[in-house]
Amino acid sequence: MKKKERIEDEIKEFSRRVSAIKDEVSKVIVGNQDLLDKFLACILSGGHVLLEGVPGLAKTLMGKTLASSMSLSFSRIQFTPDLLPADITGTLIFDPKGVKFVTKKGPVFSNFVLADEVNRAPAKVQSALLEAMQEFQVTIGEKTYPLERPFFVVATQNPIEQEGTYPLPEAQVDRFMAKLLVDYPSKEEELEILRRMGGVKQPHVKPVISREEILRAQELVRSVHLDPRISGYIVDLVDATRRPEKYGIKIKEFIQYGASPRGSLYLYLASKVRAFLQGRSYVIPDDVKWMARDILRHRIILSYEAEAEEVTQDQIVATVLSSVRVP
């Protein structure tokens, strides 16, 4: 069997394994199938997620349930104004018996880290995650410790509370692969939530895929074929958020800064994951569009004119998607 055919068969097999994760998580999480797909896309791309939604929409539960279904170590950090960077990364503690300092590793040393209400802690605490998210390592004292792969950060924030919060700076927001918005469930879904969570027996999730298999799936995602013309399309989409007039799009006055090169890279990886999840070994243009809003919305900084006219990042991305020529 040729190498190409072997990889295609492996992609189909692993896409079925990943579908088993969705089936298992759906025992606990009602609805939100598209959101779950995008969560998995970030995990398989090696990216991180910023999750935004009002309280009570199961943001924390979804993260914990996903980690359980994938046999990943999980830690939750509740961000508060009095949190210190060492509470996240760890610190050096003096051992009187050995008469020396020993390293006490923090909760960031897990495969799946949930940073709950990340905007409730000041910037020096938020920045403690930066090295871990970008370099997959943590420095404590004079020593640097690599983090076990896969490493995945999910940060949640509440959009309706502004008092006592510290908005994430643009440089840190850009390190998240996607900003996913969690909406209210439908009436039917909420009735199902009552039935499941209000009963005597609570739904339970069992691991359906190992850590090693997740790492292999991440390798397979990168082997998915992406035509150079689609690479050009990805770059055009991102460039159109910086220089829209070049593409005949009249939205320049609404954009202060366009998306960074990370936007191009994550669109590239997300389109490969979409093909992988559907059991394909090649990317089509619709795969690029699938997560474009989630990847670009937090990378576009609006101008005062946009805020005055109530133009949103999602509207700008929608305009770009409908205007840039598809190969």
pTM of the full structure: 0.87
Give Cα 267 distance to the centre of its chain. Answer: 12
Angle at CA 216, nearest 5°, toward 210 and 218?
110
At the top level of CATH, the class of 224-323 is mainly alpha
Q: Domain ranges for the chain, please list them.
A: 3-211, 224-323
Q: Is the pLDDT of residue 10 over 90?
A: no
The end-to-end CA distance of the chain, in Å, is 32
For the stretch 244-294, pLDDT in tens is 998 888 888 999 999 999 999 999 999 999 999 888 889 999 999 999 999
Q: Is the pLDDT of residue 317 over 90?
A: yes
For 195-231, letters b (16+ CB in 10 Å) and e give: eeeeeeeeeebeebbebeebeebbebbeebebeeebb
Question: Taking the CB of residue 252, how many other CB atoms lie within 10 A of it?
Answer: 13
DSSP string, 195-250: HHHTSSSPP-----S-HHHHHHHHHHHHTSB--HHHHHHHHHHHHHTT-GGGGT--
Determine the pLDDT at residue 289.
93
Q: Which two tokens stand for residue 112?
A: 């799946």
The whole-chain average pLDDT of the chain stands at: 86
Question: Taking the CB of residue 50, how many other CB atoms lie within 10 A of it?
Answer: 26
Nearest to 288 by CA among 227, 246, 247, 243: 227
Give Cα 140 distance to the centre of its chain. Answer: 26
For the stretch 212-254, pLDDT in tens is 888 888 888 988 999 999 999 999 999 999 999 988 888 889 9
CATH among 3.40.50.300, 3.30.500.10, 1.10.10.10, 3.30.470.10 for 3-211? 3.40.50.300
Q: How far is residue 151 from each of residues 179, 202, 268, 277, measured CA to CA in Å?
A: 18, 29, 20, 20
Q: What is the mean pLDDT of residues 29-54?
A: 86
Nearest to 129 by CA among 175, 94, 191: 175
Q: What is the mean pLDDT of residues 7-13?
A: 80
Return the higher-pLDDT residue of 284 and 103. Answer: 284
**Could you give phi then psi for residue 140, rounded to 5 degrees?**
-125, 115
